């Protein structure tokens, strides 16, 4: 469930909330939604990195 939550929070630009979920799932990519993509690890890392960058950009 946390994987889907991280994914959809990221898609909604709710980066702080998504970042917390990415921290909790800790890189495990053999589940939905990452398995929807040809390279699950690459997609996970891509969205996680975008979320981290966006969260840092809005943190004072």
Q: Which domain holds residue 14?
A: 2-58
Give the Cβ contact number of residue 6 at 10 Å: 25
Q: Tell me the C-alpha distance between 46 and 23, whole Å.
A: 14
Give the Cβ contact number of residue 40 at 10 Å: 17
pLDDT digits (tens, 9 = 90+) for 4-50: 999 999 999 999 999 999 999 988 889 999 999 999 999 999 999 99
Give the pLDDT of residue 28: 87
Instruction: Output the CA–CA distances (angstroms, integers) from residue 32 to 4, 8, 50, 55, 58, in the order listed.
Output: 7, 12, 19, 23, 28
Q: For the chain, how many structural domains are there in total?
A: 1
Element (H, E) at 11: helix 2-11
pTM equals: 0.84
Q: Tell me the C-alpha distance between 37 and 1, whole Å.
A: 18
């Amino acid at each position: 469930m946390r994987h889907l939550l991280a994914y959809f929070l990221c898609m909604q630009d709710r980066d702080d909330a998504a970042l917390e979920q990415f921290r909790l799932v800790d890189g495990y990519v053999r589940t939905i939604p990452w398995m929807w993509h040809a390279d699950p690890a690459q997609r996970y890392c891509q969205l996680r990195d975008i979320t981290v960058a966006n969260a840092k950009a809005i943190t004072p």
